[in-house]
Amino acid sequence: MAEQVFKRTKGLTERPFHYCPGCTHGIIHRLVAEVLEELGVLEKSVGVAPVGCSVLAYDYFNCDMHEASHGRAPAVATGIKRVLPDRVVFTYQGDGDLASIGTAEIVHAAMRGEKFTTIFVNNAIYGMTGGQMAPTTLVGQKATTAPYGRQKDHAGNPIRMSEMLSTLDGAAFIERVSVNSPANIRKAKKAIKKAFEVQLEGKGFSMVEVLSTCPTNWGMTPKEAIKWLEDNMIPYYPLGNFKSPEEVK
């Protein structure tokens, strides 16, 4: 009999994803779920879902879940973690949720060193609402509310959340990864695991920013989208670790 080399993680429910073809949310969900399973913390995990494409994440992660209002996941996670300090708490948020409407919540959660983990999925656009400009939309990138492309003089330059949050002492682990290639997917999983380990060690706030594609709203095939991410997003949003517990004084 053939050896089974891959199986569905227990960290995900049986519910089929609603995500568009080629969207990388599915990969990121799997990585988070695998990490929770491998760390043996599924049964003591509480996830906080955002508003955005991953609003239904509460149907997919096979643990207790709390659906937050738009941008407020870090505040909700703060409430949960303060009540249940020995549980594993994470938020899963997109760029509209975390980098626009929820900037105050994420900055202050990081400032306080809240001991939860944030998975920040940056696809440089509002996906769920149909392709509007996000704070992370690149200059020149077209969106339904930036039909001529994002203009720097009008909407400013896109925000780099990992760099910004890594300036805060309370942030113990900040890393930006991408899921554009098998090698980078492996690196992404390693970073996600590290982020949860930092939480388990009680060292402070941890976040992994994951560069993600949105073929539907970028108007590309999945393959073109991966290429666009490599050619445009990675140069502006450099991959790498911005903060590790060793640097926290």
Partner 1 sequence: MAKVLMKGNEAIGAAAIKAGCRFFFGYPITPQNELPEYMSRELPKVGGTFLQAESEVAAINMVYGAAGAGARVMTSSSSPGISLKAEGISYIAGAELPCLIVNIVRGGPGLGGIQPAQSDYFLATKAAGHGDFRLVVLAPASIQEMTDLVMESFDIADQYRNPVMVIGDGMLGQMMEPVELREPKKRDLPAKDWATTGTAGRNYRNVINSLALDPAELEKHNLKLQAKYREIEKNEVKYEVYNCDNPDIIAVAYGTTSRIVKNVIGKCKEEGINVGLIRPISLWPFPYDVINEYADRTKAFLSVEMSTGQMIDDIKIGANGKKPVYFYGRTGGMVPEPDGIMAEIKKILGGAK
- Output the smallest distance, CB 164 to partner 1, in A: 15
Does residue number 36 form part of the binding site for partner 1 (CB under 8 A)?
no
- Output the smallest distance, CB 106 to partner 1, in A: 10
- Picking from 104, 136, 133, 151, the residue whose alpha carbon sits closest to that of residue 212 is 136
**For partner 1, the closer CB: 84 or 152:** 84
Q: Which amino acid is at 97?
A: D
Distance of CA 193 to the CA centre of its chain: 13
Does residue number 54 form part of the binding site for partner 1 (CB under 8 A)?
no
Burial 34-69 (b: 16+ CB within 10 A, else e): bbbbebebbeebbbbbbbbbbbebbbbbbbbbbbbe
Does residue number 202 form part of the binding site for partner 1 (CB under 8 A)?
no
3-state secondary structure of 118: strand
Which residue in the set 26, 38, 44, 169 belongs to the binding site for partner 1 (CB under 8 A)? 44
**For partner 1, the closer CB: 128 or 234:** 128
Stretch that binds partner 1, among 21-29, 36-44, 173-181, 192-200 (CB under 8 A): 36-44
Q: Would the CA dihedral through 110, 138, 133, 91 be positive or negative?
A: negative
Query: What is d(CA 87, CA 200) in angstroms, rounded to the nearest whole number?
Result: 9
Which residue in the set 31, 77, 161, 192 belongs to the binding site for partner 1 (CB under 8 A)? 77
Chain residues in the site for partner 1 (CB under 8 A): 13, 42-46, 48, 55-56, 58, 62-69, 72, 75-84, 87, 104-105, 107-108
